[in-house]
Structure formats: structure tokens, C-alpha cells
């Protein structure tokens, strides 16, 4: 390829890489790379679930039980969307995956600094659905 052609290719690719910045629009694989960039407050709101076994003892649900993934980033997004669409279906799915006797799907708000330091962190909690296991 001629030298001019290489420059054109190089400039075109640079423009493509910078386009998301210019347009302020994130995408894939051309991205604004906003991870960890935004100002992050000291609270988190998310949808999660609590569960108890047949003896009434609380059990800790795994991330796979909750959202069939091992990535908390994906899990939070999935749970938010599924709870918005059909919280009862989400509850039944979690109960089936976990084998818990009772599952409660909740939307909670936590103080993340307190949580990281091992202190009580719940600021608000709303029950979205409750269901029995299989």
C-alpha cells in the first residue's frame, strides 16, 4: 500500500476511535470507556433477593442463583431489567435455581462506605415479590 494510503487508513481508524468521544455515545467495540469515570455517590440502589431454607434459616444466594452470571456488573443490570418487567417471574426463577424454600425479591438502597467497612448499610428496602421454592 502506498504511503498516502497508509496515512489515510491510520487517520480513518483514529477518527473511528475518537468518534464516540466526539459524539458522546458509547458503543462496542468503539467506546468512550466510561468505566469508573463518572462521579460515584456514596449510595447504591439495586435489586437483589433474600432467601430462607425449609427450616426458616437465611441462606446466602450466589450471584449465579440470582442472575445466572459470575459478573456483578451484568447481574445488577439483569436483575434491574427483569424486576422492572416481571418481578414475580424473577422470584420464581431465583427460587428454582437456588432451591430455597422462600425467596423475597427486594429493591434496596445501601451506604456503600458503611458496607465496605462492615457496618450496617441499609438505607431503604422495598419488597417487589415473594414466592415459595419448588
CB of 134 to another protein, least distance (A): 19
Q: Least separation, in Å, of the C-beta of 25 and another protein?
A: 10
Instruction: Find, among 99, 40, 37, the residue nearest to 64 by Cα.
Output: 99
Nearer to another protein, 38 or 56 (CB): 38
Smallest gap from Cβ 66 to another protein, in A, equals 6
Q: Which residues bind another protein (CB under 8 A)?
A: 1-3, 6, 9-10, 13-14, 17-18, 20-21, 26-42, 44, 46, 48, 60-79, 81-82, 85-86, 108, 110, 112-113, 115-118, 121
Question: In the structure grid, which three cell numbers stand for residue 70, read together?
Answer: 459470575
Q: How far is the CB of 104 from another protein (least distance, A)?
A: 14
Task: Pick the closer one to another protein by CB: 77 or 101.
Answer: 77
| Closer residue to another protein, CB minimum distance, 7 or 132 | 7
Compare residues 90 and 131 and give the one whose CB is closer to another protein.
90
29 Cβ contact list (under 8 Å, min separation 6): none
Amino acid at each position: 500500500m502506498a504511503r498516502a494510503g497508509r496515512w489515510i487508513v491510520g487517520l480513518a481508524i483514529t477518527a473511528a476511535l475518537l468518534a464516540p468521544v466526539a459524539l458522546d455515545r458509547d458503543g462496542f467495540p468503539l467506546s468512550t470507556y466510561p468505566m469508573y469515570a463518572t462521579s460515584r455517590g456514596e449510595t447504591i440502589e439495586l435489586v437483589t433477593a433474600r432467601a430462607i431454607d425449609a427450616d426458616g434459616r437465611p441462606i446466602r444466594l450466589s450471584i449465579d442463583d440470582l442472575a445466572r452470571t459470575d459478573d456483578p456488573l451484568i447481574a445488577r443490570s439483569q436483575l434491574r431489567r427483569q424486576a422492572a418487567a416481571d418481578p414475580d417471574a424473577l422470584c420464581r426463577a431465583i427460587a428454582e435455581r437456588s432451591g430455597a424454600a422462600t425467596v423475597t425479591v427486594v429493591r434496596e438502597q445501601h451506604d456503600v462506605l458503611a458496607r465496605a467497612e462492615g457496618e450496617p448499610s441499609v438505607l431503604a428496602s422495598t419488597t417487589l415479590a415473594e414466592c415459595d421454592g419448588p
